[in-house]
Amino acid sequence: MERLRGIIFSDLGQASSFMALDWVQDLLNERLGYHPFPATLNVRPKSAEDARMWRRVQRDRAGMPLTPAADGHCGAKLYRVEIYPEENRIKVGGAILLPEVDDYPQDKIEIVAPVRVKDHFGIDDGDQLTVEFLS
Protein backbone atom coordinates (compact mmCIF):
# COMPACT_ATOMS: atom_id res chain seq x y z
CA MET A 1 0.00 0.00 0.00
CA GLU A 2 1.30 3.42 -0.94
CA ARG A 3 1.29 5.96 1.85
CA LEU A 4 2.84 9.24 2.79
CA ARG A 5 3.13 11.33 5.90
CA GLY A 6 2.19 14.97 5.81
CA ILE A 7 2.14 18.02 8.05
CA ILE A 8 -1.13 19.95 8.34
CA PHE A 9 -1.09 23.66 7.55
CA SER A 10 -3.58 26.47 6.99
CA ASP A 11 -3.75 28.29 3.71
CA LEU A 12 -5.73 31.19 2.27
CA GLY A 13 -9.12 29.52 2.74
CA GLN A 14 -10.05 29.92 -0.93
CA ALA A 15 -11.11 26.30 -1.30
CA SER A 16 -14.07 26.74 1.05
CA SER A 17 -16.00 28.96 -1.39
CA PHE A 18 -15.30 26.50 -4.23
CA MET A 19 -16.23 23.50 -2.07
CA ALA A 20 -19.54 25.14 -1.08
CA LEU A 21 -20.75 25.42 -4.70
CA ASP A 22 -23.74 23.17 -5.37
CA TRP A 23 -22.30 21.70 -8.58
CA VAL A 24 -19.02 20.90 -6.81
CA GLN A 25 -20.80 19.17 -3.94
CA ASP A 26 -23.04 17.26 -6.36
CA LEU A 27 -20.13 16.16 -8.54
CA LEU A 28 -18.04 15.09 -5.55
CA ASN A 29 -21.02 13.18 -4.16
CA GLU A 30 -21.40 11.43 -7.52
CA ARG A 31 -17.67 10.52 -7.66
CA LEU A 32 -17.05 9.76 -3.98
CA GLY A 33 -20.45 8.71 -2.63
CA TYR A 34 -20.73 11.50 -0.05
CA HIS A 35 -21.02 15.27 0.24
CA PRO A 36 -17.66 16.41 1.62
CA PHE A 37 -17.20 18.99 4.35
CA PRO A 38 -17.14 22.32 2.44
CA ALA A 39 -13.41 22.98 2.85
CA THR A 40 -10.16 21.15 2.22
CA LEU A 41 -7.49 20.05 4.66
CA ASN A 42 -4.04 21.17 3.53
CA VAL A 43 -1.05 18.88 4.03
CA ARG A 44 2.60 19.16 2.98
CA PRO A 45 4.73 16.05 2.54
CA LYS A 46 6.77 15.56 5.73
CA SER A 47 9.99 14.35 4.10
CA ALA A 48 11.70 14.16 0.73
CA GLU A 49 10.58 10.51 0.48
CA ASP A 50 6.96 11.56 1.12
CA ALA A 51 7.27 14.20 -1.62
CA ARG A 52 8.65 11.57 -4.01
CA MET A 53 5.70 9.29 -3.19
CA TRP A 54 3.23 12.08 -4.00
CA ARG A 55 4.96 12.79 -7.34
CA ARG A 56 4.96 9.03 -8.12
CA VAL A 57 1.22 8.78 -7.41
CA GLN A 58 0.51 11.72 -9.73
CA ARG A 59 2.67 10.20 -12.46
CA ASP A 60 1.50 6.57 -12.18
CA ARG A 61 -2.20 6.87 -11.29
CA ALA A 62 -4.86 8.35 -13.51
CA GLY A 63 -7.04 9.69 -10.71
CA MET A 64 -10.76 10.35 -11.19
CA PRO A 65 -11.50 13.40 -13.35
CA LEU A 66 -13.49 16.26 -11.88
CA THR A 67 -14.71 18.28 -14.86
CA PRO A 68 -15.99 21.77 -14.05
CA ALA A 69 -19.67 22.40 -14.64
CA ALA A 70 -19.21 26.16 -14.73
CA ASP A 71 -16.95 28.44 -16.76
CA GLY A 72 -14.05 30.02 -14.96
CA HIS A 73 -13.20 26.96 -12.88
CA CYS A 74 -10.37 24.53 -13.47
CA GLY A 75 -10.67 20.78 -13.70
CA ALA A 76 -9.16 18.53 -11.07
CA LYS A 77 -8.21 14.95 -10.34
CA LEU A 78 -9.34 12.95 -7.33
CA TYR A 79 -7.28 10.27 -5.62
CA ARG A 80 -9.14 8.11 -3.07
CA VAL A 81 -7.35 7.90 0.27
CA GLU A 82 -7.75 6.96 3.90
CA ILE A 83 -6.28 9.32 6.46
CA TYR A 84 -5.36 9.05 10.11
CA PRO A 85 -3.19 10.87 12.65
CA GLU A 86 0.08 9.30 13.74
CA GLU A 87 -1.16 8.18 17.16
CA ASN A 88 -4.57 6.93 15.98
CA ARG A 89 -5.12 4.14 13.47
CA ILE A 90 -8.86 4.83 13.12
CA LYS A 91 -9.15 5.90 9.50
CA VAL A 92 -11.42 8.31 7.68
CA GLY A 93 -12.05 7.87 3.97
CA GLY A 94 -11.47 10.86 1.78
CA ALA A 95 -9.85 12.02 -1.43
CA ILE A 96 -7.04 14.26 -2.52
CA LEU A 97 -8.35 16.99 -4.81
CA LEU A 98 -5.59 18.07 -7.19
CA PRO A 99 -6.49 21.18 -9.23
CA GLU A 100 -5.30 21.02 -12.83
CA VAL A 101 -3.52 24.36 -13.01
CA ASP A 102 0.02 25.01 -14.23
CA ASP A 103 1.34 26.87 -11.20
CA TYR A 104 -0.19 24.67 -8.48
CA PRO A 105 2.38 24.12 -5.68
CA GLN A 106 3.97 20.65 -5.84
CA ASP A 107 4.14 20.42 -2.06
CA LYS A 108 0.47 21.22 -1.41
CA ILE A 109 -1.99 18.36 -0.94
CA GLU A 110 -5.68 19.22 -0.48
CA ILE A 111 -7.86 16.56 1.13
CA VAL A 112 -11.65 16.38 1.10
CA ALA A 113 -13.57 14.18 3.52
CA PRO A 114 -17.14 13.77 4.78
CA VAL A 115 -16.12 15.35 8.11
CA ARG A 116 -14.00 18.31 9.22
CA VAL A 117 -10.83 16.28 9.74
CA LYS A 118 -9.23 18.61 12.31
CA ASP A 119 -12.28 18.40 14.57
CA HIS A 120 -12.85 14.69 13.97
CA PHE A 121 -9.32 13.75 15.07
CA GLY A 122 -8.64 16.67 17.44
CA ILE A 123 -5.60 17.75 15.41
CA ASP A 124 -4.33 21.12 14.24
CA ASP A 125 -1.73 22.86 12.12
CA GLY A 126 1.72 21.35 12.58
CA ASP A 127 0.37 17.88 13.42
CA GLN A 128 1.24 14.85 11.30
CA LEU A 129 -1.29 12.90 9.24
CA THR A 130 -0.82 9.65 7.33
CA VAL A 131 -2.39 9.39 3.89
CA GLU A 132 -2.91 5.91 2.40
CA PHE A 133 -3.75 5.70 -1.31
CA LEU A 134 -6.52 3.27 -2.23
CA SER A 135 -6.58 1.34 -5.49
User: How is the chain classified by DSSP, letter by letter?
Assistant: --EEEEEEE---STHHHHHTSHHHHHHHHHHHSS---SS-EEEEESSHHHHHHHHHHHHH---EEE--SSTT---EEEEEEEEEETT----EEEEEEEE--TT--TT-EEEE-SS-HHHHHT--TT-EEEEEE--
The CATH number linked to 110 is 2.40.30.30
* CB of 15 closer than 8 Å to CB of 39: yes
Which residue range(s) make up the domain with 63?
3-133
Per-residue pLDDT tens, the chain, 135 aa: give them.
899 999 999 987 666 667 777 888 888 899 999 999 988 999 999 999 999 999 999 999 999 988 776 666 677 899 999 999 987 778 999 999 998 888 889 999 999 999 999 999 999 999 999 999 998
Q: Please state the domain count of the chain.
A: 1
| The pLDDT value given to residue 67 | 79
